[in-house]
Structure 1
């Protein structure tokens, strides 16, 4: 089945979706009119079901039509700001015989993309945009970046973006329709089946278009550059996901944000141990689906190897060379990542400080507070002294402590008390300046004493939780660290 035939079929299915909606609305109107002319109980039931379903359909489509494009991501760069980048894009556009974009935007994503505003179901283009991910400029060479840009411009040359606008709109409409029919199981199943058929056909078109765009990329940069670019992008996407979940997710802890987002990503990508981990992850087999918008990496690499090798002069310099001043571009894109509230309300700090605060907030703060409150409740103390929890353990009240911890949202487990106790003791060390969470780009953050020894309290906490007689030794150890018996966590300094 050719790409053109699949594309035509996708448009037919999209039209069929609106026809199906129209039929249901028409059926609802028919039965409503029938009730007015000649009332029947059976017609009443059908009219109610169809009218409610038609209302849900129309409401879903109205909501989709009212969705604005929203604020565009990233930072626009003009020819005056980035002449080398624009010149490169315009030269490549000439080579693939298409018009260059009207706008280039640098975005904080491991991706490059193009879009095209269209009218008349994609028959007329109005404005073209190209999005270039700053992490790609950090990761790729000039050679590889040119190949990637050639791939994206190839979408213009093949009119892929013009097809993409209505097809994408159809996907959004179908998904919204299915979600809006949650109270109508029969109609929801009907439109779910239709949506799956539409997605299979339209995504097959998208996958074929990606392979066609790869041909333009090879013409621009050669097989080696494009293949290496795809491998690097695959690895960089894995790294960015890891970076976002393990590091950027700490943003907001204690009122802080990272002062250098892309500097941190560069540090992670430069770490040898992390690179080895990413290499292992990239070797794992890819999961594929008929609903994927892109072919698998293996499929794309295999197709590239079959293409002719063009004459090409390699350029192994960093793609950042395409920017007039990378530091200025980095700062501008980082600013675009934050809301005005985050820029004014969160203090920009080093990654070392952010990790120290973020790990404490995620692992220790709640454990310390909740253990003290649980101890207060079990022992009937006037205030949430941490020592009240120790006293409850000393008196064999572990079960009561665990009950209070579960009431505060902790998940029940065999190690509930020992786990919370261990995290609370870590918090005490941190608050009293004895230990600190330490940044590592090679793996998870580590809690270290001042002399560099790693804090390991899980076994000790388990011994104390299981043995009331061990509480005396715990109190003595904490006393040597300067922790008073009347220590109340909420009154401790917030600094970590």
Structure 2
């Protein structure tokens, strides 16, 4: 099944789920149970057949029927072993810094009240990590089976960005995924999805694949895309139900505000916060500020930058797609009956309110870990930038016409890296007009600049780069595909990639 076919199937099933949510849930449950039963009945039949053959041979002597049954059992036994090992595989626990009740009593009191109100299972472990995210993770005690151990994982950056009521809404949403019948059913179906995906991967990766392996792989290939589509839509349906847990705990306005803030601030955090921090390496041997201690202040000071009308309009235009089980922001907020309102500045973050001084100590811990990981790379970048900027100053003093081709390209690439695309453009255009080309790296950079200006002719320069330098093929195709996919759709983007690859010299 192609990605486009999967998308169409998900869209059709979305309609079914919206029109009859209970019936759709029962249908997915039936498919999950039927697939599970069919898999293990087949494996049980293989074992029984093998056992019958052994007993028949011992009591009646060798025969062709017994020999054939025994051979079939031996051939299919590896498939049974793969499935059994997969069922017993242990999922790794989530990563993060586990915290105890005495370290963050206010947070644990809030979780106690939430559990009492929503009537869900215990949260066995609370972890704080370095991501901008929050989730509930379940890990069965024995591989993919057995009672579940529940982990709440909350990112410290996420807590710095949210108010206490918004944080409660987010955590209640995640907790809602494991509450009630839908939580237990959803968790079970999620594990079946893991099981079938892992069985398929292990069967396909077997070096000496038997005939039975190939038959099972073919059956799973035929079944799994449909199973994935049904469970994908059910997961999306569960998101709306989990949002009602947010409403029950924090109210609809806080639930909607948390969704909008998470989207807008998350976009800015991943796009601008880290890039601004790392740009300091061009001029400083150490950062002027470490990230986690600075996040709360950075989020407040940049509020008008990320919480803008244009940012909200752009987020509101995004549609739900087959790449994410979460419905789009617009659909979730409208389902809560709330308008698209910009979130207000947070005066006292959830990290401060729920973690207190312990939150500051966590930030220091995370900063120390971050710098330990980044110090070497930061130093390398600083040394590279120092040399490059000195070289660029020397090149900037010369007229373009007086520079040889290799220095023209060096100057253009340095301007693109350390100044602005607009500063690099005249140099690139001058270079690309010169005889002696092609200049693949310059063509690649110029093509990226043109696509950034929404000019389609940038694709031609990416094609030149891909045809002329095998080291640039992946980067050029990735850039062109992403640009075309966003504007003209996946089929057009794939057609362009195929055409470029066919035109490359052997």
Alignment TM-score, normalising by the size of structure 2: 0.58
Matches within 5 A, 1:50-61: 55=78, 58-59=81-82
Structure-2 residue corresponding to 1:346: 375
1:211 to 240, 253, 257: 240
Give me the whole-angstrom Cα distance separating, in 1, the residues matched to 2:385 and 2:201: 37
Q: 1:13 and 1:299, CA in 2 relative to 1: closer, same or farther beyond 3 A?
A: farther
Secondary structure class of the residue paired with 1:293: coil
Give me the whole-angstrom Cα distance separating, in 2, the residues matched to 1:327 and 1:348: 26
More helix by share: 2
Gaps of 5+ in 1: 307-314, 369-389, 402-416, 427-436, 438-444, 449-453, 470-496
- Is 1:422 aligned to residue 383 of structure 2? no
| CA distances 1:268-300 after superposition (whole Å, capped 9, x unpaired) | 7816445547435413322323x8533333332
Q: 1:221 and 1:244, CA in 2 relative to 1: closer, same or farther beyond 3 A?
A: same
Deviation at 1:224, TM superposition (A): 0.5
- Is 1:299 aligned to residue 342 of structure 2? no
Deviation at 1:8, TM superposition (A): 3.3
Matches within 5 A, 1:219-230: 219-230=248-259
CA radius of gyration, larger in: 1
Structure-2 residue corresponding to 1:150: 172
**How many residues are matched?**
380
Secondary structure class of the residue paired with 1:115: strand
Structure-1 residue corresponding to 2:426: 459
Give me the whole-angstrom Cα distance separating, in 2, the residues matched to 1:20 and 1:235: 49
- Is 1:70 aligned to residue 117 of structure 2? no
Structure-1 residue corresponding to 2:161: 139
Worse-superposed segment, 264-273 or 81-90 = 264-273
| CA distances 1:325-348 after superposition (whole Å, capped 9, x unpaired) | 232122334556x6xxx8378359
Give me the whole-angstrom Cα distance separating, in 2, the residues matched to 1:302 and 1:274: 21
Structure-1 residue corresponding to 2:419: 447
Give me the whole-angstrom Cα distance separating, in 2, the residues matched to 1:178 and 1:236: 38
Give me the whole-angstrom Cα distance separating, in 2, the residues matched to 1:295 and 1:465: 45
Deviation at 1:225, TM superposition (A): 0.4
Give me the whole-angstrom Cα distance separating, in 1, the residues matched to 2:375 and 2:157: 24
Deviation at 1:29, TM superposition (A): 5.9
Deviation at 1:82, TM superposition (A): 0.9
Q: 1:130 and 1:24, CA in 2 relative to 1: closer, same or farther beyond 3 A?
A: same
Worse-superposed segment, 238-247 or 294-303 = 238-247
Matches within 5 A, 1:73-472: 73-118=95-140, 125=147, 127-158=149-180, 162-182=184-204, 187-242=216-271, 246=275, 260-262=290-292, 267=298, 270=302, 272-273=304-305, 275-276=307-308, 278-289=311-322, 292-305=324-337, 317-320=348-351, 321-325=353-357, 326-334=359-367, 343=372, 346-347=375-376, 419-420=409-410, 422-423=412-413, 446-447=418-419, 456-460=423-427, 463=430
Gaps of 5+ in 2: 1-20, 57-61, 339-345, 393-400, 437-506
Structure-2 residue corresponding to 1:484: none
Give me the whole-angstrom Cα distance separating, in 1, the residues matched to 2:422 and 2:198: 50
Q: 1:186 and 1:67, CA in 2 relative to 1: closer, same or farther beyond 3 A?
A: closer
Give me the whole-angstrom Cα distance separating, in 1, the residues matched to 2:286 and 2:38: 46
Deviation at 1:226, TM superposition (A): 0.3
Give me the whole-angstrom Cα distance separating, in 2, the residues matched to 1:206 and 1:322: 30
Q: Which has the higher contact order (CA 8 A, sep 6+)?
A: 1
Deviation at 1:228, TM superposition (A): 0.9
| CA distances 1:346-396 after superposition (whole Å, capped 9, x unpaired) | 3596xxx897568789xx79x99xxxxxxxxxxxxxxxxxxxxx99x96xx
Give me the whole-angstrom Cα distance separating, in 1, the residues matched to 2:35 and 2:368: 39
Deviation at 1:223, TM superposition (A): 0.9
Q: 1:20 and 1:108, CA in 2 relative to 1: closer, same or farther beyond 3 A?
A: farther
Give me the whole-angstrom Cα distance separating, in 2, the residues matched to 1:37 and 1:244: 74
Aligned CA-pair RMSD? 5.2
Q: Is the 8 A contact 1:112 1:132 kept in 2?
A: yes
Structure-2 residue corresponding to 1:381: none
Give me the whole-angstrom Cα distance separating, in 1, the residues matched to 2:48 and 2:276: 54
Deviation at 1:115, TM superposition (A): 3.2
Q: 1:70 and 1:154, CA in 2 relative to 1: closer, same or farther beyond 3 A?
A: closer
Give me the whole-angstrom Cα distance separating, in 2, the residues matched to 1:317 and 1:248: 24
Give me the whole-angstrom Cα distance separating, in 2, the residues matched to 1:124 and 1:67: 12
